[in-house]
A and B are shown apart, each in its own frame.
Chain A
Amino acid sequence: MKKQSITKATNPGVRFLINYSVPIIFTILIAFAIPLSGLSGEYLVRELMTRLARNSFIILALLIPVMAGMGMNFSIVLGAMAGEIGLIFITDWQIVGMPGILLAMLISTPLAILLGYFGGMVLNRAKGKEMVTGFMLAFLMNGIYQLVVLYGMGNIIPISNSSILLPREYGIRNAISLLEVRQVLDRLVPLKIGGILIPVASFLVIATLCVFIIWFKKTKLGQEIRSVGQDNDVARVLGINVGKTRILSITISTVLACYGQIIFLQNIGTMNTYNSHEQVGVFAIAALLVGGASVSKATIPNVFIGVILFHTMFLVSPRAGKALIGQAQLGEYFRVFVSYGVIAFSLALYAWRKRVEKENERRKAMALKRVLLQSTNTAGGNKF
């Protein structure tokens, strides 16, 4: 049973390799791909800076459900949808600049809270299957989002700005220009180093979120969430309302995801009304896993390392694919394959190790039982 001995390995070097196998494999892959792609270091740094600023927030939203033991929260998509609805409204009302972004965040918050609460309730009913359920829930809500945005808006929900409506006069267009709020957060504190625009304000916002998360972990609620994550039964014995805590952690995550999506979209400047949120869940989770997180443990460094590694791969794949086999299309498929593959691999690895650990616990318990039985036998020995 070679595999069992690997998990039992006490050599810290081996443990490190296994725990962080995903980011290590990734780094090796990228090390090969970067020179193949022919992209310059400056280009990569510039692009990564942009991507760090725009993607980190929503990935940070994933951390709290992991703390609560609910695994990778695929239903952050619900938060993203709430954010997009907020943006649709401010575009309709033509609110520009920073006030536009803030107002979008303000009006989408109640929706995000509602969706998060709903999501949390559903996930509570699927204990043990949170990730699959969250995943399917995201698809379900996508259908409902379509019904609302593609059919309800302009009909039951009044939209006055006809430039965002489809020609048939109800339903929002496929792509909405967010020109008026484009990069307002990024450019809020303008700083240029060597011709590269550094989105200071965005980084400040992200830093604030990090500080908030660190502080939150130490609060009473944060501690409760962590004990729920460690062991539901122990938490219950301690008097913690497990169900409510889980719902709360999903709600917070959903609201953060809502803001994260707004930050993401303000950087891009256009909103693909029906597609922007689809890949959000997959890419965010893949990035987090690539950064070394697991289903039961995710830290802030995982987020940033993940963004850097994952997005570098994203950037170099098409050109590397073209260099290798002559088709850039290959690189694109490779990107998708890697995103899904990383998740499959990490989840499988985690599930397998969980099982092996359970198996080890069981053996230990059995061995202990045997020892106890033996000792009672020798003690009460010669009855006959």
Chain B
Amino acid sequence: MVALIIIGIFLYTIGKGHKVLIDNKDIFIGEIAYSADTTYNVWVDNQEVGLLEKGERKVARVAGASHKIVVEEIKEKVLTGDKYERKFKLKTNEGATINILAMINNKNEWIDKTN
């Protein structure tokens, strides 16, 4: 009986769908402004989210608790070779908004988790 409940909770956690918003937008952190001036190619959990132009926002739907976001910089339709990768965890009721600029510049505010 208890085992079944544990399995149930396990399934719930690894199956829970989350909405992750990804922004290629200007962002103010502290006193510095980071501006979005180029295109990025984004993957979340090895699933291609697509190309984000300046100012664009896209949605990724993921399931489970641990995730990985990979961002590739593209300048003038050519890959620059710059690749960035961050890992993040989501609690069962959390969604998240990720700002690419903050992420690239290693700022702590790169991800904003919402209930």
Contact = CB atoms under 8 A, between A and B. Distances in A.
A and B touch in the complex (CB under 8 A): yes
Of the listed residues B4, B15, B16, B63, the one surrounded by the most CB atoms of chain A closer than 10 A to its CB is: B15
A287 B64 CA distance: 40
B63 A103 contact: no
Interface stretch (A14-22, A89-97, A214-222): A89-97
Contacts of B12: 93, 95, 99, 103
Contacts of B7: 106
B4 A96 contact: no
Contacts, number: 38
Contacts of B14: 99
B11 interface: yes
A94 B4 CA distance: 20
A102 interface: yes
Contacts of B63: 95-97, 99
A331 interface: no
A95 B16 contact: yes
Chain B interface main SS type:
helix
A180 B15 CA distance: 10
Contact of B17 (A96, A98, A106, A107): A96
B11 A106 contact: yes
A249 to B, nearest CB: 23
Chain A interface main SS type:
helix
Interface in A204-253: none
B8 A103 contact: yes
Nearest to B13: A99
Contact of A93 (B4, B16, B61): B16
Contacts of B11: 95, 99-100, 102-103, 106
Contacts of B17: 94-96, 180
B8 A106 contact: yes
A9 B13 CA distance: 63
Nearest to B62: A96
Of the listed residues A100, A102, A103, A106, the one surrounded by the most CB atoms of chain B closer than 10 A to its CB is: A103
A151 B1 CA distance: 31
Contacts of B61: 96
Interface in A64-103: 90, 93-100, 102-103
A1 to B, nearest CB: 59
B47 to A, nearest CB: 12
Nearest to B10: A99
A200 to B, nearest CB: 21
Nearest to A100: B15
Interface in B1-53: 4, 7-8, 11-12, 14-17
Given A99-B11, A99-B12, A106-B11, 9 more contacts: A95-B11, A95-B17, A96-B17, A96-B63, A97-B15, A97-B63, A99-B63, A102-B11, A106-B8
Interface of A: 90, 93-100, 102-103, 106-107, 180
12 contacts: A95-B11, A96-B15, A96-B17, A96-B61, A97-B15, A99-B63, A100-B15, A102-B11, A103-B15, A106-B8, A106-B11, A180-B17
The 3 closest A-B pairs by CB, nearest first: A99-B15, A95-B15, A94-B17
